[in-house]
Chains A and B, each alone.
Chain A
């Protein structure tokens, strides 16, 4: 009984693959590049074979490996004939695709159920499972855009975006250098540092606390779209004006979080410092700043994404002929949607790496916080 309930993806995949076999051809008739029989045969054998094997009472790891190979090989063969055949996906095509997707799902659930004591194997698993997830987003995207013949302008298939990315590496690299290494890094460092410094100042001097914070609040409400053109007027077309926008954007989250963090230390811990006759700076360095670290890292993480958005959007308002925002705004005008997507992919990658670095720093600095202790 349990085999029916636990392996329902396999049963369903088998049913779908068999249904596909009944309608047989993978493309509608008279497509430009037809499926050769051998290829079509392999697609079916792999999908059906994988589904049947996964129903056998074999070790989970072995089954997962079989499913991984069968479903992805079958899908690969299925997709590789799509180029030149856009919009030719038949019912059988989508049924087999769905069957393979279910098999991959079964594979992931088998992998997730594996309990291991080896830490390297565990790390490998934690890498493979999201990788399969991500791969299927791309596979479904590719199959749907090409299989249904969705217009290139609306949504290009990932393979075309990938190809564009590969051929435009020098352009993309120049854009990243202009936008990230100049505007974002400079703006982020200066914005975060000044937000932090003003927070300390406001903490130390009551005059600033009461006078400056309302102004800072107001500043945070400034719409970036409105600020960007003004910054271009002030600081020119090059990266300095974008860095200025990033500074404006990142300053406030850092200020507010640091101020909140500075009051995070408990009253007993403060009394302890008082009992040692500790002065302001000693209490700050040894108690209040360490206690504020989780808050400060929150701001650093928020700002890592804000900075990238700010720099890209600011480039819409005038730049030299390089930069990620510049590229996006000009290529969309030329209907080069694949280049826009390639730029978006690069931005996502850069943003993730940036965020990841900050998160690593956080793990190293706030290991003591209850939210980080267990792992």
Chain B
């Protein structure tokens, strides 16, 4: 991808707010969120539960609708972006359909988007390869481990041509060792596919290890307290997490989280 393209804004939010009307009165899930995500960015959203990080991701995906401010996705409204199938979404759980084999699950978006059979086959093979699941295509989801299922769901999100990948705590339910491994693989995958990734997490090391940009959020009302541009190199072995640079960024994230918290009390 040409360098000039990196300035292109994939997600652009201005004064974005979202209020849920509940029986106990309005809940301000998001307020005054300003954010730019440029092409090729790996942006992590971190914050305590209820800070609106998942809600923000869902607004980008047009699974929720903002009640204030403006947001564009690929220069369009989120609804138009969804309808032109411009993102892949990876949920907290794999959400694979148990009546379909892994390859049929990956074929699901391709069937809906009317890809030809030959194209489906080619893409299934390629994406299974990308997530290191080659040879497991004929298995049913319930025959695989949790980590493998989540990789299959990432493969499903990668199968069609969307430049934007939205990931909502995809590894939250997995143990530390599997998570480290998948983080490493995700970075490689990001480098190979050159997608733009928005990644929700509540793990500081995960956020710092993966991101080019870390968005620290705080709750009630959900808002952005700090945006940190990572100074880490693009090539990141797992050992980088011991480096002083890494620890400095992690420290700043922690400070940001604490600031958001004391504000509440």
What number of B residues sit within 8 Å (CB to CB) of A?
Answer: 24
Distance to closest chain B CB from A374 (angstroms): 11
Contact status A275-B95, CB under 8 Å: no
Contact status B98-A368, CB under 8 Å: yes
Give complex CA distance A277, B91 in Å. Answer: 16
Given A268-B95, A368-B98, A275:B108 Cβ within 8 A: no
Would you list the 6 A-B pairs with minimal beta carbon distance, nearest first? A368-B98, A368-B99, A275-B89, A268-B95, A277-B83, A278-B112
Find chain A residues with CB under 8 A from B91 CB.
268, 271-272
Distance to closest chain A CB from B210 (angstroms): 22
- Choice from A274, A369, A370, A373 contacting B82 with Cβ under 8 Å: A274
Told that A275-B87, A275-B89, A286-B112 touch, could you supply 13 new A-B pairs with CB distance under 8 A? A268-B91, A268-B92, A269-B97, A271-B89, A272-B89, A275-B88, A276-B85, A276-B113, A277-B85, A277-B112, A290-B99, A368-B98, A368-B99
Q: Is B245 an interface residue (CB 8 A)?
A: no
Given A268-B91, A271-B63, A276-B85, A373:B112 Cβ within 8 A: no
Please, which residue of chain B has its CB at the minimum distance from the CB of A275? B89
Contact status B61-A275, CB under 8 Å: yes
Distance to closest chain B CB from A279 (angstroms): 8
Give complex CA distance A368, B141 in Å. Answer: 9
Q: Mark A250-283, 1 if CB is under 8 A from B, else 0.
A: 0000000000000000101101111111100010
5 chain-A/chain-B pairs, Cβ below 8 angstroms? A269-B95, A275-B89, A276-B109, A290-B99, A373-B142
Find chain B residues with CB under 8 A from A370 CB.
142
Q: Is B93 an interface residue (CB 8 A)?
A: yes
Please, which residue of chain B has its CB at the minimum distance from the CB of A369? B98
Find chain B residues with CB under 8 A from A212 CB.
none
Give complex CA distance A272, B95 in Å. Answer: 8
Q: Is B229 an interface residue (CB 8 A)?
A: no
Given A275-B63, A277-B83, A368:B108 Cβ within 8 A: no
Q: Is A287 an interface residue (CB 8 A)?
A: yes
- Which of A271, A276, A366, A368 has the most chain B CB atoms inside 10 A of its CB? A276
Overall SS of chain A's interface: helix
Please, which residue of chain A has its CB at the minimum distance from the CB of B143? A373
Q: Mark B75-112, 1 if CB is under 8 A from A, else 0.
A: 00000001111011101110101110000000011011
Find chain A residues with CB under 8 A from B98 CB.
368-369
Give complex CA distance A268, B89 in Å. Answer: 11
Q: Is B140 an interface residue (CB 8 A)?
A: yes
Distance to closest chain B CB from A298 (angstroms): 17
Please, which residue of chain A has its CB at the minimum distance from the CB of B111? A286
Q: Mark B193-207, 1 if CB is under 8 A from A, else 0.
A: 000000000000000
Find chain A residues with CB under 8 A from B140 CB.
368
Distance to closest chain B CB from A94 (angstroms): 54
Please, which residue of chain B has its CB at the minimum distance from the CB of A271? B63
Find chain B residues with CB under 8 A from A272 CB.
89, 91, 95
Give complex CA distance A282, B113 in Å. Answer: 10
Distance to closest chain B CB from A262 (angstroms): 15
Distance to closest chain B CB from A39 (angstroms): 60
Find chain A residues with CB under 8 A from B85 CB.
276-277
- Which of A277, A282, A369 has the most chain B CB atoms inside 10 A of its CB? A277
Find chain B residues with CB under 8 A from A278 CB.
112
Give complex CA distance A286, B93 in Å. Answer: 19
Contact status A277-B82, CB under 8 Å: yes
Contact status A368-B142, CB under 8 Å: yes
Given A290-B97, A368-B99, A275:B142 Cβ within 8 A: no
Give complex CA distance A199, B52 in Å. Answer: 37
Distance to closest chain A CB from B95 (angstroms): 5
Please, which residue of chain B has its CB at the minimum distance from the CB of A286? B108
Distance to closest chain A CB from B47 (angstroms): 21
Distance to closest chain B CB from A77 (angstroms): 54
- Choice from A268, A282, A287, A369 contacting B93 with Cβ under 8 Å: A268
Q: Mark A361-375, 1 if CB is under 8 A from B, else 0.
A: 000001011100100
Distance to closest chain A CB from B187 (angstroms): 24
Find chain B residues with CB under 8 A from A287 CB.
97
- Which of A266, A268, A287, A293 has the most chain B CB atoms inside 10 A of its CB? A268
Find chain A residues with CB under 8 A from B97 CB.
269, 286-287, 290
Distance to closest chain A CB from B54 (angstroms): 11
- Which of A272, A273, A368 has the most chain B CB atoms inside 10 A of its CB? A272
Give complex CA distance A287, B104 in Å. Answer: 13
Find chain A residues with CB under 8 A from B109 CB.
276
Distance to closest chain A CB from B123 (angstroms): 14
Distance to closest chain B CB from A290 (angstroms): 5
Give complex CA distance A211, B48 in Å. Answer: 45
Find chain A residues with CB under 8 A from B99 CB.
290, 293, 366, 368
Give complex CA distance A286, B111 in Å. Answer: 10
Give complex CA distance A286, B140 in Å. Answer: 16
Find chain B residues with CB under 8 A from A282 CB.
112
Interface residues of B in 50-69 (CB under 8 A from A): 61-63
Please, which residue of chain B has its CB at the minimum distance from the CB of A272? B95
Give complex CA distance A366, B97 in Å. Answer: 12
Contact status B95-A266, CB under 8 Å: yes
Give complex CA distance A273, B85 in Å. Answer: 11
- Which of B88, B108, B140 has the most chain A CB atoms inside 10 A of its CB? B108
Find chain A residues with CB under 8 A from B61 CB.
275
Distance to closest chain A CB from B248 (angstroms): 37
Distance to closest chain A CB from B91 (angstroms): 5
Give complex CA distance A230, B245 in Å. Answer: 86
Distance to closest chain B CB from A136 (angstroms): 41
Please, which residue of chain B has its CB at the minimum distance from the CB of A265? B97
Q: Mark B134-172, 1 if CB is under 8 A from A, else 0.
A: 000000101000000000000000000000000000000
